[in-house]
Amino acid sequence: MTPVQIEAIYMKNLSIITKIPAILIILLLAACNSTELDIFKDKDQNDISAIQKPDKLAIVGIEEIKNGSYEKASAAFNKALKMSPSSSGLHFLNALAYHLMGVRGDESKLNLAKEGYALAINFDQSNWLARYYSGLLSIEKKAFIEAQKQFSEAILFEGSDPDLLYYAAYASYYSYDLQTAQAILGQLR
């Protein structure tokens, strides 16, 4: 699979990323009132130097991911992490930005992505998105047993997501665990 094809798969999975505003943004913005969300009205919304709240930086970073500006997204998430270092959501989003940079060709970022996903899981064991994307990263590295483990743990929290089930079956198949692959595929029907 080429890097362009892999990135296309991730961008197809933007349905999961667009769940982020529904899941994480609500959590990140819990203390933020709607009048403070004027950051996108500024002409230069990409200038993160003036933003001093992790929730606002997270919004900017998510928008940068959607725009394909992964380096800018990571810069926003890294700044937010300096203010909120134990945020599972921010570690996940930063790992995702690194992961997408790696998919685009900077393979040195893939190790940072792996560590970021692990930190996200460490700070919130129920962060199934971190497990899901960690599993995708393991598939890219052809570490199918590790991918199967990550997907299996994610299924415990979000067992009805069809993409998660598909990739869990895929990883199980390539781990030569045909019984598990068959059982997971049965859930997709």
Q: Which pLDDT score is estimated for 183?
A: 95
Q: Which pLDDT score is estimated for 48?
A: 82
Q: What is the pLDDT of residues 70-86, one digit of tens each?
A: 999 999 999 999 999 99
Q: Note the pTM of the prediction, 2 decimals.
A: 0.79
Nearest to 150 by CA among 174, 125, 168, 177: 168
Q: Which pLDDT score is estimated for 142?
A: 96
Question: What is the rounded (10 degree) CA torsion for 160, 92, 65, 22?
Answer: 50
Mean pLDDT of 136-154: 96
Tokens, residue 21: 């505003």
Q: Which pLDDT score is estimated for 5?
A: 62
Q: Which pLDDT score is estimated for 10?
A: 61
Reply yes or no on whether the pLDDT at 1 is more than 80.
no
The set of residues, in sequence order, having a beta carbon less than 8 Å from that of 22 and lying 6+ positions away, is: none
Q: What is the pLDDT of residues 160-179, one digit of tens each?
A: 899 999 999 999 999 999 99
Q: What is the pLDDT of residues 8-30, one digit of tens each?
A: 666 555 445 444 444 444 444 44
DSSP 22: I
